[in-house]
Amino acid sequence: MRVYPTFFKAAFSWMDPELAHTLGFAGIQLAHRCGLGRVLSRMTAADGGSEVHVMGLTFPSPFGLAAGFDKGATGTHALTDLGFGHVEIGTVTGQGQPGNPRPRLFRLVADRAVVNRMGFNNDGARAVAPRVASALHTLAQDAARTGRRRPVVGVNIGKTKAVGLEDAVGDYVLSTATLAPYADYLVVNVSSPNTPGLRQLQELDALRPLLRAVRAEADRVTTRRVPLLVKIAPDLADEDVLAVADLALELGLDGIVATNTTIARDGLGLRSDREAVAQCGAGGLSGAPLRRRSLEVLRLLREHVGDRLVLVSVGGVTTAEDVLERLDAGASLVQGYTAFLYEGPFWAARINRGLRRAARRTSA
């Protein structure tokens, strides 16, 4: 019997979602600081048979935590204790910023969904970079001590709100110069709906020089080749999805993260009444209702690019069966976030157990 759904209903469901997130994350960090991390990591770790080798990196599990939860690399090590094979930090911008006014995070509990208009609230690249470096150092020490694979730490970068679109390339280059020396991989986020004008950067005439500049800067400031991916919106038309894929191939990118949150409300089969949805206001919707479109985009991309790009599938992932479905559809890696809020701290561990059971059935 699972305890967390009852705990969520009693402790968090009535609380402001952003406050609940802050308190929940603080609890995870506290457990780590109190020494429970080593116990948890032994309980939650994926086994060696779950490893994924892509982009020159080894991921202990194909399942990881999407960007948005740990925006500032303040609890990365604690999150890997819970069983995530990788944690994507961010979104991080060139300059620190407070994000959009509160309230800016809303639950649609009946749909196991969230609407957010956070607006890339973060401390900025210069503050986050040493935290990423510290997390990687301690994770490497743990890996050496235990003999297990080190979880992978990616960094997702976006545009500072105060920077105009005409100066966006320089802003992304600043973040790249600061963070690329530490990130296991980089993701260029041009698909959040919560920074005005950002999604215009998905247009090829804007995206080509941006990605080219980020790639060149990452190569300039590092002695290794940092894998580079671009994150796209589920709201792109199919032909635009394929155009971005062709651009990624043209520029020699390593992969695509598909997909970000959606601005759509209709056509998602939402169970919440229209008034409740309307009260959330503008923002990106994530969670279970995004499952169908995210899977469609994944299949479209894999059919188009074959094995030439790494595809990271995110959107509507809740169970081990969901992860397996994405892997079968062509994902190299799978990420989740929204279900973490509803499933609780042992969510990744349950998914890892489900993946192990599936692997045993396949090999039997």
Structural domains in the chain, CATH included, are 4-363 (3.20.20.70)
Q: Tell me the binding residues for substrate.
A: 71, 116-120, 189, 194, 260-261
CA distance 93 to 126: 9
9: its two tokens: 């209903």
pLDDT category of residue 45 using cuts at 50, 70 and 90: low
For residue 224, count other CB atoms closer than 10 A to its CB. 10
pLDDT tens by residue, 264-297: 999 999 999 999 999 999 999 999 999 999 999 9
Q: What is the per-residue burial (b if ≥16 Cβ within 10 Å, else e) of 264-283?
A: eeeebebebeeebbeebeeb
Q: What is the model's pLDDT at position 5?
A: 76
For residue 291, count other CB atoms closer than 10 A to its CB. 18
pLDDT averaged over every residue in the chain? 94
Q: Tell me the binding residues.
A: 67-71, 91, 116-120, 156, 189, 194, 231, 259-261, 287, 316, 337-338
pLDDT tens by residue, 224-250: 999 999 999 999 999 999 999 999 999
Contact 361, 330 (CB under 8 A): no
What is the value of pTM for the model shown?
0.96
pLDDT value at 1 more than 60: no
**For residue 65, what is the enclosing H or E element?**
strand 63-65
Q: What is the model's pLDDT at position 3?
A: 77
Q: What is the per-residue burial (b if ≥16 Cβ within 10 Å, else e) of 107-138?
A: bbeebbbbbbbbbbbbbbbeebbebbeebbee
pLDDT value at 215 more than 90: yes
- Shortest CA distance to 317 belongs to which of 238, 246, 241, 257? 257
Q: What is the model's pLDDT at position 93?
A: 98
Q: Is 192 a catalytic residue?
A: yes
Distance of CA 333 to the CA centre of its chain: 11
Q: Tell me the binding residues for FMN.
A: 67-71, 91, 156, 189, 231, 259, 287, 316, 337-338
pLDDT tens by residue, 110-130: 999 999 999 999 999 999 999
274: its two tokens: 């229209």
Considering 41, 175, 191, 192, which one is annotated as catalytic?
192
Q: What is the model's pLDDT at position 11?
A: 76
